[in-house]
Every structure is written in C-alpha cells, then in structure tokens.
Chains A and B, each alone.
Chain A
Amino acid sequence: MQSIDYLCILFCFQTEHKMSIEEVCRKFNTDIVQGLTNAKAAEYLIRDGPNALTPPPTTPEWVKFCRQLFGGFSILLWTGAILCFLAYAIQAATEDEPAGDNLYLGIVLTAVVVITGCFSYFQEAKSSKIMESFKNMVPQQALVIREGEKVTINAEEVVGGDLIEVKGGDRIPADIRVVSAHGCKVDNSSLTGESEPQSRSPDCTHDNPLETRNVAFFSTNCVEGTARGIVICTGDRTVMGRIATLTSGLETGKTPIAKEIEHFIHIITGVAVFLGVTFFILAIILGYSWLEAVIFLIGIIVANVPEGLLATVTVCLTLTAKRMAKKNCLVKNLEAVETLGSTSTICSDKTGTLTQNRMTVAHMWFDNQIHEADTTEDQSGASFDKSSVTWLSLARVAGLCNRAQFKAGQDSLPILKRDVAGDASESALLKCIELSCGSVRAMRDRNKKVAEIPFNSTNKYQLSVHETEDPNDNRYLLVMKGAPERILDRCTTILVQGKEQPMDEELKEAFQNAYMELGGLGERVLGFCHVLLPEDQYPKGFAFDTEDVNFQTDNLCFVGLMSMIDPPRAAVPDAVIMVTGDHPITAKAIAKGVGIISEGNETVEDIAARLNIPVSQVNPRDAKACVVHGTDLKDLSQDQMDDILRNHTEIVFARTSPQQKLIIVEGCQRLGAIVAVTGDGVNDSPALKKADIGVAMGISGSDVSKQAADMILLDDNFASIVTGVEEGRLIFDNLKKSIAYTLTSNIPEITPFLFFIIVNIPLPLGTITILCIDLGTDMVPAISLAYETAESDIMKRQPRNPARDKLVNERLISIAYGQIGMIQALGGFFAYFVILAENGFLPSRLVGIRLNWDDRSTNDLEDSYGQQWTYEQRKIVEFTCHTAFFVSIVVVQWADVIICKTRRNSVFQQGMRPSWWFCAFPYSFLIFVYDEIRKLLLRRNPGG
C-alpha cells in the first residue's frame, strides 16, 4: 500500500476518473459513439507525440567498446603485449643493439587486440541493430473507433481522446477511462503487484486514480471480457510511463550460449595461464634467464589464445539472426534459437498452429439433419432449403451473438477475402451468414443490442440480448452460442421445422450423434440457442446486468449446431504433444490429420473397439498413441502423468484448462525434456513462461502471449518452429565446427615451444607466425564454417542435452587437441626436420643445440656434415622452417576445414561429390605453367 500512496503523490492531479463521461468527451473533443475524427487524431498526434515510452538509457557506446577491448581473451593478449614491451625495454637498457622482435610483437599484439575488439564491437552493433528491428516488427495494435469505424492501428498512433475497444488478451494501449465494460477484468500486476485480476466498469469507485475501477492503465493486460474507453493519457504521461522514467532499465540475465562461450573462454584462459606459468617456472629451473622465460611465456600465451575466435562467434550469431528473420521467425533473444535447437518436446495447441487458421463453416445441424454449408461466393452450391424457419433462426443467432465485424473499407472485396476484426470462429460464422443471408450489419442494426456477456473459459458460452425486428414486439430476444453440451444443458425445447418442441431423449440422442459425427470430422462444433424473453418479466427498458446476471439463462430453445473446420497444415514434426481445449474426438481427428497420431497407431480405445473388449482389459503398453481428457488429467497423480508421458510417443490432451497446460509442461520438464510451448491466448502465457522456450503466434496471438514468448512466428506457421529448431541446431553445430577448427591449430602452435624449451631444438615456429595463422589463415575458414548448411540428419538427431552436450566438451577437446591437432603438429615437425636435414642438420644433431644455435657470437656452428655456419646463415634456415611449419599448418588446416564441415555425415554426403573437387585441377596446373613461362620470358629479356 505504501507504494500506492507514493504513486498517488505522483498522479493525484489526474482527475478524469472523477469526471462524467460527457465531461471527458468534452475535454478531448471526442464523441462517445463516433470517436475522434481522423483530422483531430492527427492533430493530437502531432501535439502529444507518439504513444510510446521513451526507451531507457542504454549502456553508452564507449563502455560497450571498452568491454570488447578488455573482455575475454583480450586481457591475456594485453598481458602478452605489455610483457613484450617490458622485455624490449629491458633489452634496450642492457644491450647495445637490442633485437626489435619483442617491440614488433608487442605492437602486433596491441594491434590485434584493438582490431579484433573493433571488429567484435561492430558485429555486435550490427546484430543488436537486427534485434532492434525485430522489436519494431511486432508493433502493438490497438482497435480504435474513429469517425464511427473500427480501425486497427499501431498502438503508437493512439492519441488522447481516442475511443478504444479492448478485449481479453489485449494489452491496454494507453491509460483509458472506461465508458462501458462487459465482464472486463484487467491484470494490474505489472503496476501494483496485485496478481488477482480486477474488474473494470464505468463507475468511479475511488478518489485515487490507481484504485478506481474506471481507469485501465497502459501496458497492463486485459484478461477477459471487453471494455470500451476513452484514452486520457498516452506515452510517457501514462502512469506506467511516469514510473518507467523513474526506474532505469533492468539488467538482463545471461543467455545459455553466452554462458557457454564464457565457460569456454575460462577453460582456454585457464589452460593458457597454467601452461604459461608452468613453462615459465620450468624455464627458470632449467637455467634460462628471466628475459628468455618471459619470452617463452608470451609465446605460450599467444599460441594458446585463439585470437580470431570471438569475432567468428559474433559473425555466426549475426548470420543466424538474419536467417531467422528471413524465415519469419522473430526471435526475441538471439540465444533462444539455440535453446529451440535442443527442444525435445513441443507442446502445441491446435488453433492456428497446426492448422492453417482459415476457419470456415463446414457443416450445420438443424431440423434433425446435417447440412453441408455452402461457402461459395455466388451461393451456387446450396444444398438445403434456405427458407426454412429453423435455418433463419440459426442464422439470426449466429449473426447477432457474434462480436466479429468486417474491417472498414473493403466493400469491393469478395466476402471471403475480407479482413475481419474478431476471433477465428466468429469470423467464420460472420462470413457464412453474410454469404447466405446478406448484410449482417443490417441485421444487427435492426436488432439493436442491449446487453452482452462475451465468451470466457469458465462459462464457455457467449450471449447477447437484442430488441426484436418487429417494432410492435416489445419482447427482448436472448441469443446464445457456445460449447454444444453446455448449450444443451440450458435448453428445454428444440426448434424443429420452425416449431418449438420439448427436448426429449430421442432428440437428445440425435443431437449427441450429430455432435459426435461433426466432431469426428475434426471440426469445431458450436451450439446455438435463443429465447424470446417474456414481456411481463422483462419489460421494455429493463436494465440487464451482465456482471451479476439478473435474467434467465436457461430454459432456452435449442436451434442448431454449426461446425467449423480449420484445414490442417502439413509439416508437423515428431515429438509434438497436442494440448487443446477441443473435444477429444475433434482433437483426435485433427491430430490424425496433421500426423501427430501417425497412421496405424492406435489409442487404447481404438484397440478396445477393434478387439471388441472393454477398455480396462487392454494393455496400455500396446497403445503408442493416447488421448487424455482434461477431466481425467485432474485426477491423475504425478506418477501416472509421468507414466503417460513416458510410455506414449503420440499424446493428445483434450479439453484442457490453462492450469493443466502448465501441469503438462511441468510433467515433460520433470522427465528431462526441453519443452517448447506454442500458444496464442492470454491463458497460454503461464505455460509459455514456464516452457524452456515459448513460441507465440504473430498474427493470431494476443499481446500478452507475445510478451511472454521467447520467439514469435510472424506467419503463424507451425513449420516455422521446425525451421527455428533447425536453425538452433545449425548454429550450435556451426559454432562447434568453428571452434573445433580453430582450436585444432593450437596444438601445432604450442608444441614447437614445448620442444624448444624441453629438448632444446631450434624454434620451429615463431610467435608472429602464430599470429598470422590465428588471425589470417584460420579466421576466414572459421567464418566460412558459420555459413555451413545443415547436415542432412540434423532433424533426425536426438536433441541436445544441455547438461551433457556442452559447446566445448571433452570430446571436442579430445578430437581437436588430442587427435587432429597431434597429426597437424607431426605434419609441421616433419616439414621442419626435412628442411633442417636437407640443409645439413640431421635430427640427431638438433637435440640440445639450442644454446649454441641462438648464440650470436657462435659463428662456426658445426652441422652433421662438418660444415660450419654463422649465426645469420642458420637463422635464415630457421626462418625457412618457420615458414614451412606455417605452410604445413595451413595445408593440414585445409583438410581440417573440410572434415569440420560435418559432424556425423561423411563429407561426401554433404553435397560435395568428390569428383567435383578435382574440376579445377587442370586450371591450377595452368597457373603454374603460365607463370613459369612468364618468368622464363622475364629472365630472357631482363628489364623488358
């Protein structure tokens, strides 16, 4: 409460809630029915600016830059560079002609750190820009009424005085003064911390604007019901905006892959420091001077740190972000892609995700008969008598008890192609009625609506009360639609051939059969009923209270059923658990349609039906598929739940409530699965949050679900999730490949130093050369691995277990360091020994030669053949060795980059046929021949 008092100080000057609606209208020059005029709205928009919060101050750019410059491996390299300068300073102070090597190395190291720092900084800036653009791709929408038309606009364009309509699942686009509400409840938890949804109504109930019921606040969520209100504050002037300006941006936690990379940096740094210090001490013990020991230390650090790797990783992430955006997957945090890749179970609700979300009315049942709906534009396929009274009643109920309406300005379009404001099934009904009976709008105008209870998950029905068409008839018409069994429960009579008949057992059975048949087709069935309220009880002007229902909602007259189908989408992968609110039969039909229950797999019930035995006698282990009813789920213990999840590969949960969704997700997680949950409704958001990765629908999804989700499918296509999974696995694979490739060359880089110190051979590979490899020849191929396409088996593999399958695990280290790296080192050493031997120093002569070899005053060093060498002469040979070692590493890294292209597949399976590799061979030969001829001519004609 204290916080609320404190807030009150900030906002008590707000008085709109105490004004009457008319006063508010006057204040904003708006109309309670027509809303603002477009011109006024534009004027206000210019005056007040867009309805958006000023973004919180971000980390200054120079801090980000410094983080790149001094974070990760950079510290290690800075240490190396400083040691270099120190060594040079000592040499300069003590020697007459100090060798410039250390100075150069120091400069190069500094340059390396600065350049990679800059590169990473720009890459990060680029990827964060992409993420920014992502955020802008999901603009919040608001339904405003301007000049009497409902238009959906960006929430940013909402201005003070706009008449706004919100419904369950919406985010409130601005601070609004409620003018009318139907069972509207808002979740103010983001503002006040009260988790209980609070109802909203037009009455002022409290002096404090935060306490009163008639104000709904910006960025809170409407949980259920509908409300209409006038915008009183926008943008930073809203309550939330003023709080937001008080609190600065919150630090976000580290994502899994960032942790993985940090873990990897720690390992490598640890190894580098450990080896460096060990050999430093060893060098001192072996009698090297301090200076030499320091130089060894630098060499080992430089050899161990994969300087180019971090830049490569950033490139990989940026690339994936781009690729995902192209495929209509909007990833709210980039690293979530990787999580998606390790997903083992996808819990999906049916609506719009597994289906195409183009709901159309397919069948109707009235007059005790199933009729096929005619969905052609010209009504050519009429299959039933349109003059039937029952049909006209059904159409009236479907048209009136319906909140959907066509968006403005599409009169020229065919009905089926028009955009509709409203949910999928209501839109389907609207289009169907509009097609067969003409303008629904006109019908609604004739039957003025006086009261309405919108659909919610507890009632499972929607009703509205209307005046009748006949001006002389003062009775009110109550129309209701909803889940068929719930509707049936409320009915005592049924309309058959235009006559009301009492509902008897026979008709009930006919209803049940029709319901089962339609449901079995995988269709969503809705029941419709109506009643004319008796005039004596409900005279004209009766005040219908929808909050506290003061009128009859039973003893109704059943009219008919209408069923809608949403054609299933192709491409639904395995490991999908369907969780839906639909009837088990419908759910099963859809599951079969999209392949969640694959052909030939039976449920316990199917087996029982086939063998004609009771369900209890069937061994549940025989059934791979299973359909679980929400009510059964309630009674299941945790163990039984685990048993179901473990023993069935194809599971459908039907008639589930939001809480049960959460239980299912938790159950899967308990079994160690990484669960992705898709959802679009408000009620999905707990499950979306609980899931390892929540996926919201971009088109049909509510703002709340989009907020709770980690990823948004812009095209609502389930196949996009699969793409996401593939991308997630791909980025992990490719990073692994890049790292494996880069780490491998560490072994041939570090072994020369070790042998140099321990066996006292001339140094086979110089420090600068190591930098050339790490930053030059290794970096581009490592980046190229980021472009690697997915392996053919990428989706067939078991998902990644994040506890065991680390980015850098012992297996990667083992193969990179222990196996391939060793082979590479041998390759380098072979080249080294060949060069020295062919110049006269056989391997046997080399061991222990180092002290004399590096002594400038020894100019008669004897080789294996008895020849004598000056210092410079043998250094030239040594540098030749460095070059050769370098070239060998480059050459063996060619092989490495090719083997790193795949993790499991053979290289030859990965799109590249071996014969294609050799196509360019004649041309490379041509290069040699051509250049030799060129050189020959040059020699023949000197100066020509």
Chain B
Amino acid sequence: MSGTKAEERKGSSSEWRDAFWNPRTHELLGRTASSWGLILLFYLVFYLFLAGMFVLTMYIMLLTLDDYKPTWQDRLATPGMMIHPKGDQLEITFSVSETESWDRFTQTLNTFLSPYNDSYQVQMNDNCPPDQFFIQEDSGEVRNNPKRSCQFNRSMLEECSGISDRFYGYSRGQPCVLIKLNRVIGMLPGKNGQSPYVTCGAKRYRVEKERDEWREDGDKLGPLAYYPPNGTFNLMYYPYYGKKAQVNYTQPLVAVKFLNASVNTDINVECKINSNTLEAGSERDKFAGRVSFKLRINHT
C-alpha cells in the first residue's frame, strides 16, 4: 500500500515538473514556445488596440474641452479661502522669544510675497480703476489675449508687507496672517461697486469630543488690523480669466494682524468673506467662503 502511494507521489512530482517544463515536447507550463509566442502576440496586439482606442477616446474628449474655461464649475459656486502661512495643519504656533519657531513663517511669507513687489507689479501689470470689474471681453471668435491684470502692490499690505517690519510682527507677538480667496474663473464676488471684505472672529468650537458644550475665544482674540483697509478684495481684480489667458494674474490678498492676542493659549480664529453675491458655503465644507485656523503665541 505504502509503496504504491510513494510511487504515486513520485509520479505526481514528475508530473509537476513536466507541467512546468516538459523537455520532451519543449513545453513551458503546458505550452510550446510558439503557442506562448502566439498568446503574447495576441495580447500585445489586443492591448495595443485597446490602448489606441483609449487614447483615441481620450483625445476626442480633450478636443471637446475649452482651453480657457472648464466645462463645469458648479462645485466652485462658493470659492474657498486659505491662509498664508499655512503652518502645520492650519496651526500657527510660535514662541516670540525663539526666533527659529517663527523664522519659517517669515521665510515663506517672503517667498510668497516676492511676486507682489511694487517694482515687479508696476512693470508687469496695469493700474486699474478701483471698485469696478476689470472686464476684458473677447470679441466673438477673436480672443482678446493675453489679458491684462491689475496691480496688487506689496506695499498695500502696509504693516504686513514685510517692508517696514521684515518679521511681519512675529518677533513682537503681533503676527500677520495673509488671507486669500480661491481663484475661480469668471467669478464676480460683488456688485454695485461693493467689494467683498474679510472679517475675522473667534470660532465656536466644541470643548471636548462627544460633548455638546461650545465655547469661543472671543475675549482672547484682541483687536485686529486689516490691510488693505477694511480687508477688501477690490473688485478690479475680478473676474479671473484663467491661467492661460491671464498669465500674470496677481491674486489679491488681505492681511490680518493680531495686535494683542492672548499669549500661551490656543485661539481658534475663523475668517470669512462678506459679499453681496457669493452664496454662503455649505455647512459641510469648512473652507468655502471661510477659513479657520488655530493661533498660539507662546511668550515667557
């Protein structure tokens, strides 16, 4: 009994070897080289055909797209807002006395603001009439390109421009945070000459997870200063015509300076856009038409 079983096992192992490489028929995994070749050839041709077909459909799809404006913009009805510097996960934490803790903020601000230098702006962009849209229509099929952009000079940020105070107030515990409104092609964020403006305040937040107790840090926030005055995004910077048509577009900024924020404590700040045309964003999207971040200034 055991003998036959051993033979069987031997038989099956040689079968296995044969299944992988059969030296008599020159079959690899049960197929001859020419059979494998044919299969590979078939798959090569098949996949080439598929790839060609895919590329063709993609190409046709890309042809239907407009170069200057995406087909759908419904997701962007309420533009998002963002701060700069971004910090780590939208938390701006630094110690006044430790230079290294805020040095990277000023560095990124410097880099970020370099295209806004007055000299550069004057050279590249127009000085537009304020409080009205800078509309540059195409005349029918003829593109009115490249489109001009309006100047946004760094000096407009005054205290937060980094010109007078190259540490943007971080060295004195009065940090500047830049706020920008996301670019959306063709968006008109106001009407009747009323520019949208930014207001910042304390954010309501839940004290602890799972508990329905809310608090806001209003008392810790202290007075704020907005640059340009009133924290407006002037209408002349709108509408945006897109990366391709409006190469030198300069995104307007609003700087917020925390003049006397409480130290050694977390402050939840929320800034939002006030406009007479933009819809309020959905409750779900915490960054549509508003932006919230955490500020903590350590001072010993």
Interface residues of A (CB under 8 A from B): 96-97, 818-819, 822-823, 826, 829-830, 833-834, 837-840, 842-843, 856-857, 859-860, 862-874, 876-877
Contact = CB atoms under 8 A, between A and B. Distances in A.
B287 A870 contact: yes
Contacts of B28: none
Given A843-B58, A868-B183, A870-B182, A826 B72 contact: no
Contacts of A876: 75
Given A843-B58, A867-B183, A837 B76 contact: no
A833 B240 contact: no
B86 A842 contact: no
B154 to A, nearest CB: 20
B80 A869 contact: yes
B69 interface: yes
Contacts of A833: 58, 61
Nearest to A834: B61
Contacts of B286: 872
A819 B82 contact: no
Interface stretch (B42-50, B100-108, B140-148): B42-50
29 contacts: A97-B209, A818-B43, A823-B50, A829-B54, A830-B54, A830-B57, A833-B58, A837-B65, A838-B65, A838-B71, A839-B72, A840-B73, A842-B65, A857-B86, A860-B80, A864-B70, A865-B70, A865-B242, A865-B243, A866-B185, A867-B70, A867-B182, A867-B183, A867-B185, A868-B80, A868-B184, A869-B80, A872-B284, A873-B75
Which of A96, A829, A859 gathers the greatest number of chain B CB atoms within 10 Å?
A859
A142 to B, nearest CB: 40
B53 interface: yes
Interface string B258-300: 0000000000000000000000001011111001000000000
Given A865-B68, A867-B184, 9 more contacts: A96-B209, A838-B71, A857-B86, A859-B287, A864-B70, A867-B242, A869-B80, A870-B288, A872-B285
A49 B155 CA distance: 108
Contacts of B257: none
Nearest to B29: A810
A839 B287 contact: no
Contacts of A864: 70, 243
Interface string B235-271: 0000010111010010000000000000000000000
Which of A856, A859, A867 gathers the greatest number of chain B CB atoms within 10 Å?
A867
B190 to A, nearest CB: 19
A868 B62 contact: no
Interface string B32-69: 00000000000100110010011001100110010011
Contacts of A826: 50, 53-54
B90 A869 contact: no
Contacts of A862: 183
Given A865-B243, A866-B183, A859 B291 contact: yes
B243 A866 contact: yes
Contacts of A870: 80, 182, 285, 287-288
Contact of B80 (A829, A839, A842, A859): A859
A872 B287 contact: yes
A841 to B, nearest CB: 9
Contacts of B89: 856-857
A826 B51 CA distance: 9
> Chain B: interface secondary structure?
loop
A819 B47 CA distance: 8
A402 to B, nearest CB: 50
Interface in B98-130: none
Which of A839, A863, A870 gathers the greatest number of chain B CB atoms within 10 Å?
A870
A859 B182 CA distance: 8
A863 B80 CA distance: 13
B104 to A, nearest CB: 16
Contacts of B291: 859
A565 to B, nearest CB: 49
A865 B61 contact: no
Q: List 5 A-B pairs, minimum CB-CB distance, nearest first.
A: A866-B243, A870-B80, A868-B182, A872-B285, A840-B70
B202 interface: no
Contacts of A818: 43
Contacts of B284: 872
B81 interface: yes
A873 B76 contact: yes
A570 B198 CA distance: 93
Contacts of A96: 209
Contacts of A838: 65, 70-72
B49 to A, nearest CB: 10
A840 B81 CA distance: 18
A865 B80 CA distance: 16
A864 B81 CA distance: 19
B258 to A, nearest CB: 20
Contacts of B282: 872
Contacts of A840: 70, 72-73
Contacts of A856: 89
A601 B68 CA distance: 81
Contact of A839 (B50, B75, B79, B285): B75
B255 to A, nearest CB: 17
Given A826-B54, A868-B184, A857 B244 contact: no
B242 A866 contact: yes
A877 B75 CA distance: 8
A97 B292 CA distance: 15
A822 B241 CA distance: 39
Given A830-B58, A837-B61, A866-B243, A873 B70 contact: no
A96 B286 CA distance: 15
Nearest to B240: A866
A474 B151 CA distance: 144
A150 B38 CA distance: 73
B86 to A, nearest CB: 7
Contact of A860 (B57, B75, B182): B182
A5 to B, nearest CB: 27
Contacts of B182: 859-860, 867-870
B200 to A, nearest CB: 16
Interface string B217-248: 00000000000000000000000101110100
A857 B87 CA distance: 10
A747 to B, nearest CB: 12
Contacts of A860: 80, 82, 180, 182
Contacts of B46: 819
A873 B80 contact: yes
A467 B183 CA distance: 121
Contacts of A867: 70, 73, 76, 182-185, 240, 242
Contacts of A871: 285, 287
B173 to A, nearest CB: 24
Contacts of B288: 870, 872-873
Contacts of B183: 862, 866-868
B244 A865 contact: yes
A149 B80 CA distance: 99
A865 B54 contact: no
B296 to A, nearest CB: 16
B50 A822 contact: yes
Contact of A869 (B76, B81, B240): B76
B54 to A, nearest CB: 5
Contacts of B285: 870-873
Interface in B181-224: 182-185, 209
Contacts of A865: 68-70, 185, 242-244
Contacts of B47: 822
A352 B91 CA distance: 91
